Amino acid sequence: FLSLVAEVCCGFFVILILGNFWFLAVLYLLWMYIDWETPCTGGRRSQWVRSWTVWKYFREYFPIHLIKTSDLNPNHNYLLGFHPHGVLVAGAFGNFCTGASFKNLFPGLTPYLHIMPIWFGCPFFREYIMSAGMVSASKESVSYVLSNEGGGHASVIVIGGAEESLNAHPGSLTLNILKRKGFIKMALKHGAHLVPVFSFGENELFKQVANPKGSWLRNVQEKLQKIMGFALPLFHARGVFQYSFGLIPYRQPIHTVVGSPIPVKRNLNPTTEEIEQLHALYLQKLRKLFEEHKRNYGIPEHKSLIFE
């Protein structure tokens, strides 16, 4: 979805350069240079953009639901770990970048969805994603959000990243998280409470070409991901007027469950042992959240999360 919109924006920018409006392209490049750090300093959200009617239809298409399990005190800052990535990350976008669901359930908190910095280098597209409440996933950006002295900020990070999208097959419960501990260190440095979030149905929106680990396709995808910074899953779903083939996601309900906060005391120089301990606790709470809610969303009793 992001890729498609980004391509349209880049195409429009090329038209400006090749047409009689090249001076507008030059002015915009100057603006990008001046405004380059904004995605790392809280972005530039627009309530008007976040409230577009099209997002109401987007949420209702699947539909997308946000489920609250515990209050989040707006006097604190929070780091929400979102799982799984899926192909579209529809639950993260629908719940944290559109509508009023989050605001109504968690009054006093402002969510910031962190995405790869590469997206903010795309002309015009960067303005749209910042308007929706997205900011860079760089360390500087996360630190900026979590440094708010009065609390009330919530960094939303898709922990598995682009690499996890390669596991986004229907029924898959594999999360790339065992080696991902940067978010733990960031939470400790800022004293941001950790909140596990699991989005049931995220992996059911598309079918992906078989790419088991060790296969030639998976090897190529992983190498491209390391080079470009984002993965290229080969997926398909339904068409506009038929259900056999296309790129429109299947209409599968998404239930994004926000867990209880894990209190974190500020520690500017956490040791490796302290990071490991908090990481282990986070995994424990994430698994518990999944186990407590899986029956409500069609997950068989014998199925459990797999951490890689």
Per-residue pLDDT tens over the stretch 169-217? 999 999 999 999 999 999 999 999 999 999 999 999 999 999 999 999 9
Does the pLDDT value for residue 95 go beyond 70?
A: yes
Answer with the residue of higher pLDDT: 109 or 19. 109
**How much is the pLDDT for 8?**
61
Among 25-39, 46-60, 239-253, the range scoring the smallest mean pLDDT is 239-253
**How much is the pLDDT for 1?**
53
Average pLDDT over residues 123-128: 88
Q: How confident is the model at residue 60 (pLDDT cuts 50, 70, 90)?
A: very high
pLDDT digits (tens, 9 = 90+) for 134-163: 999 999 999 999 999 999 999 999 999 888
Residue-range domains of the chain with CATH: 40-307 (3.40.1130)
pTM, to two decimals: 0.92
Q: Classify strands 64-68 and 254-258 as parallel, antiparallel or unpaired.
A: parallel
Residue 74 and residue 97 in contact, taking contact as beta carbons nearer than 8 Å: no
**How much is the pLDDT for 62?**
96
Alpha carbons 251 and 170: distance in angstroms, whole number = 13
Residue 106 and residue 184 in contact, taking contact as beta carbons nearer than 8 Å: no
Does the pLDDT value for residue 41 go beyond 60?
A: yes
Q: How confident is the model at residue 9 (pLDDT cuts 50, 70, 90)?
A: low
Answer with the residue of higher pLDDT: 214 or 23. 214
Residue 176 and residue 308 in contact, taking contact as beta carbons nearer than 8 Å: yes
Q: How confident is the model at residue 88 (pLDDT cuts 50, 70, 90)?
A: confident
Percent of the chain with pLDDT over 70: 94
Q: Classify strands 207-208 and 193-200 as parallel, antiparallel or unpaired.
A: unpaired
**How much is the pLDDT for 6?**
58
- Average pLDDT taken over every residue of the chain: 91
For the chain, the distance separating the N- and C-terminal CA atoms, rounded to the nearest angstrom, is 26
Does the pLDDT value for residue 39 go beyond 70?
A: yes
